[in-house]
Amino acid sequence: MKHNLAPLTLLAALASGESLAEQSGESTITLGETHVDGSAGQSLQAVSNVLTSVDVLGADKIEDKSVMNSWELLGQMPGIQLTETRQGAESGKVTFRAFNGEGYINGIKTLIDGVPSNVNSGNQRFIDMVFPLDIDYIEVVRGTNDPRYGLHNIAGNINFVTRQGGNYTDSRLTYGSFNTRELQLAVGRESGNFAQNYFLAKQDIDGFRNHDESDKYSLSGKWFYTDDEGLLKAGLVTRLYHHEAEEPGFMTKAELDASRTDSAPKNANDGDDRDMKQVAVHLDWQMRDDLSLGNKLYYNSYDDDRKITFTSYPAGNAPRQRRQWDERQTGMLSNLTWAAIDGLTLDGGINLEHQDNEYRRYRYNYSVPTDFDATPARTQNDDAYTLDNFGAYIQAVIEPIDSLKIIPAFRVDRFYGETELPDGTEADLQDYGSIQQPKLSVVYSLTPNINLYANWGRTFQILTGSSGPAYMTTGQKSFDPSINTGKEVGIKLIPVSGTEARIAVWQQDATDEVANMPSTGTTVGLGETRRRGIDLQFTSNITERWSLWGSHAIQEAKVVSAYTSDGESLAGKEVFSTPRYISNLGTDYQFNQDWRFGLQARAQGDYYIDSLNQQGKYGGYAVLDANVRYTISETTSLDLQLKNLTNREYEYVWYDNFFWGGDNQPMFSPAPGRTAYMSLNLKL
């Protein structure tokens, strides 16, 4: 039998369904189970050395969920804020640690199978490429002390790990509210040294509102070869995604009160046409018992044509826009791990990324609806720009005694780039120098069931986009990188067998935070900010049939020192669109061999929608979802999912004229009421 690249002890932990934290005295909590394979084992082993608040959502909590977009799956996880914009392909985003999802401050690094998967602005659009049936697990790392990633890794990172290897043919056919039709097909074949996995998904939805249709598909293929000794593993992963969607538009309060499902005539031609591709080559080599090397070479492409009419006022042509992105990313990640001696492991890595990007923004004269086939009134952007990132890190895992682990780490990043604007202006990316990020993590096992941990670390924010101030065009003010310094103390405990709990207190301070939205050319300095909070969570297998989990995150994000363009102080103001609490509570009950029942409640607090905190609070909600599974045979089952069971009315809200001229009023995107989805699952 060939050896697996993952440590056998880790595989045993995964196979038994126990959490990684319980086995190794770490701070990770796992909800559900993961498929056992070498790729998953290696990734989980790496993340266990981060020693911060890490959560893993297993396949059994993912593959049977009916969601319009895979980012919604993270609503089951602790402290995750869902920003549900519901505008066609711009469906929403996930954030945590009091960073919001408006697009101005993109603080979460996103990865698919360990491959960087943010667009240039930091938005998380590549998440849409993966569907639930293809996901093995999702890992969320919160905090500033993970040295593996630099760009966009301000508050932490999310890694969507897909299935690899195995022999299976799984399919899921769904029909539900708003004429939702979805097919997912996952196929895995493994024989000898060769494993291949294929995935197909097709989803069509008429939409909750008028002018809200969405049609998309996703294809992927994975091919991996392992040598006879199990020491060398090489693979190719490819993904293809296409999405065409209408946009119903944002509503005024009067429009919302009149109807939650209408779309205004001004939005009748709004929509999005999006294509994304990802190709990655993986190479893992166990060079000797104490030395391993991992490499990833990747290519991402993102093409988007979005037509949007934000507001109703006729003056000027600012709100009627057609935005087009063409982005290409090529990159490499390489990691070397050396178990030097007993009690000391050294880990280091480098990453390179080159981006070739184009951005076009056309503005149109007032009409109802906007005629995007007409000649634009003006071309505001027709930009070509590059961004190059070189990063490197090193960390040591020191275990002076069995109950103590100390991990010092250091990371450095450098950036280069050039832009060319329509008027012939050429400019270089501003010189950020070498951005240094020291980090330190400690965990002490007070008893086998009680682990105390603490960490301190620095991350950074730089400006992205195609023009000034990211690039030093004439007259532009330079911005230093915003340095985020985070600290956290926590306790992870197992009070009784089958139950894990964690309490963490954290704080994150930024030196020169900037609200930066490249698509609108908006950059506003927020100055010094402070985010802090308390995270409480637990997961418990009360009996063999009954499980319960829950969390409550208390958080705040405030400006410490900054002023508006009119000289008004923002000190003490809350950062816009940041709720003060995020909670969830869920339970699953296996009634007998055939029937399983589940409930999940999610709640999110209200938030201010403007930087001066003068326009009131909006956006809070509390919803209850239910699911029932009936197992017909070993290969066939039926799922019924009821979302927003109590038919709660809630909506996403933003402030028009937040940074640029508008109607000076809240704008709403309502959420659906009660919905139902029936799915047929086949596992062959």
Asked whether residue 310 carries a pLDDT value surpassing 80, the answer given is no
* Residue carrying the six token digits 């031609």: 269
Of the pLDDT bands very low, low, confident and very high (cuts 50, 70, 90), residue 9 is very low
What residues have CB less than 8 Å from 333, skipping those under 6 apart? 114, 115, 116, 294, 295, 296, 298, 349, 350, 351
In whole angstroms, what is the distance from residue 557 CA to residue 573 CA?
Answer: 9
Report the percent of the chain where pLDDT is more than 70. Answer: 92
Asked whether residue 224 carries a pLDDT value surpassing 70, the answer given is yes
The answer to whether residue 3 sits within a structural domain is: no
Structural tokens at position 634: 């070993």
Residue-level pLDDT at 376: 93
The answer to whether residue 1 sits within a structural domain is: no
Asked whether residue 112 carries a pLDDT value surpassing 70, the answer given is yes
In whole angstroms, what is the distance from residue 570 CA to residue 179 CA?
Answer: 47
Q: Higher-confidence residue: 467 or 164?
A: 164
Asked whether residue 450 carries a pLDDT value surpassing 50, the answer given is yes
Residue-level pLDDT at 313: 64
Q: What is the pTM of this model?
A: 0.93
What letters, b where the CB count within 10 A reaches 16 and e where it falls short, cover 484-499? bbbbbebebbbeeeeb
Asked whether residue 474 carries a pLDDT value surpassing 90, the answer given is no
Q: Are 290 and 339 in contact (CB under 8 A)?
A: yes
Number of compact structural domains in the chain: 1
Structural tokens at position 541: 């297998």
Residue-level pLDDT at 8: 28
**Which long-range contacts (C-beta less than 8 Å, at least 24 apart) are formed by 582-585?**
582/79, 582/80, 582/81, 582/551, 582/552, 582/553, 582/555, 583/550, 583/551, 583/552, 583/553, 584/75, 584/76, 584/77, 584/78, 584/550, 584/551, 585/549, 585/550
In whole angstroms, what is the distance from residue 231 CA to residue 233 CA?
Answer: 7
- In this prediction, residues 233-251 reach a mean pLDDT of 97
Strand partners for 107? none
Can you give the residue range of the structural domain that contains 259? Answer: 8-683
The answer to whether residue 306 sits within a structural domain is: yes
Structural tokens at position 649: 């009315």
In whole angstroms, what is the distance from residue 359 CA to residue 307 CA?
Answer: 14
* Residue carrying the six token digits 């895995």: 188
Pick the closest to residue 674 from 641, 644, 629 (CA basis).
Answer: 644
Q: Between helices 8-15 and 38-48, what is the axis angle to 10°?
A: 100
Residue-level pLDDT at 516: 81
The answer to whether residue 567 sits within a structural domain is: yes
Q: Are 205 and 179 in contact (CB under 8 A)?
A: yes
Asked whether residue 520 carries a pLDDT value surpassing 90, the answer given is no
In whole angstroms, what is the distance from residue 451 CA to residue 405 CA?
Answer: 11
In whole angstroms, what is the distance from residue 376 CA to residue 587 CA?
Answer: 54
What residues have CB less than 8 Å from 162, skipping those under 6 apart? 112, 113, 130, 134, 135, 136, 197, 199, 220, 222
Pick the closest to residue 415 from 119, 103, 123, 151 (CA basis).
Answer: 151
Residue-level pLDDT at 40: 41
Asked whether residue 583 carries a pLDDT value surpassing 80, the answer given is yes
Of the pLDDT bands very low, low, confident and very high (cuts 50, 70, 90), residue 102 is confident
| Secondary structure (3-state) at 567 | coil
What residues have CB less than 8 Å from 584, skipping those under 6 apart? 75, 76, 77, 78, 550, 551, 600, 601, 602, 603
In whole angstroms, what is the distance from residue 173 CA to residue 122 CA?
Answer: 33
Asked whether residue 12 carries a pLDDT value surpassing 60, the answer given is no
In whole angstroms, what is the distance from residue 310 CA to residue 327 CA?
Answer: 24
Asked whether residue 28 carries a pLDDT value surpassing 90, the answer given is no
CATH of the domain at 451: 2.40.170.20
Residue-level pLDDT at 48: 58
The answer to whether residue 671 sits within a structural domain is: yes
Asked whether residue 3 carries a pLDDT value surpassing 60, the answer given is no
In whole angstroms, what is the distance from residue 307 CA to residue 615 CA?
Answer: 28
The answer to whether residue 100 sits within a structural domain is: yes
Of the pLDDT bands very low, low, confident and very high (cuts 50, 70, 90), residue 316 is low
Q: What is the pLDDT of residues 33-69, one digit of tens each?
A: 765 444 444 444 555 566 778 999 999 999 999 999 9
Pick the closest to residue 454 from 416, 420, 505, 403 (CA basis).
Answer: 505
Q: CA geometry: angle at 127 spanning 123 and 129, to 5°?
A: 130
Q: What is the pLDDT of residues 639-654, one digit of tens each?
A: 999 999 999 999 999 9
The answer to whether residue 2 sits within a structural domain is: no
Asked whether residue 231 carries a pLDDT value surpassing 70, the answer given is yes
Residue-level pLDDT at 660: 47
Q: Are 44 and 55 in contact (CB under 8 A)?
A: no
Residue-level pLDDT at 315: 62
Q: Are 59 and 35 in contact (CB under 8 A)?
A: yes
Residue-level pLDDT at 10: 30
The answer to whether residue 370 sits within a structural domain is: yes
DSSP code at position 251:
B
DSSP code at position 262:
-
Number of residues assigned to the chain = 684
- In this prediction, residues 498-524 reach a mean pLDDT of 89
**Burial class of residue 34 in the structure, from the number of CB atoms within 10 Å of its CB (0-12 exposed, 13-18 middle, 19+ buried):** buried
* Summary mean pLDDT of the chain: 90
Q: What is the pLDDT of residues 287-308, one digit of tens each?
A: 999 999 999 999 999 999 999 9
In whole angstroms, what is the distance from residue 532 CA to residue 558 CA?
Answer: 9
Residue-level pLDDT at 662: 58
Pick the closest to residue 500 from 81, 55, 49 (CA basis).
Answer: 55
Q: Across the beta sheet with 135-142, what order do the strands follow?
A: 28-31, 53-58, 135-142, 156-162, 108-112, 115-116
Q: What is the pLDDT of residues 545-578, one digit of tens each?
A: 999 999 999 999 999 987 776 778 889 999 999 9
In whole angstroms, what is the distance from residue 577 CA to residue 103 CA?
Answer: 11
| Secondary structure (3-state) at 15 | helix
| Secondary structure (3-state) at 75 | helix
| Secondary structure (3-state) at 479 | coil
Residue-level pLDDT at 643: 97
Lowest mean pLDDT among 16-25, 256-265, 497-506: 16-25
What sections of 38-189 are H helices per DSSP? Answer: 38-48
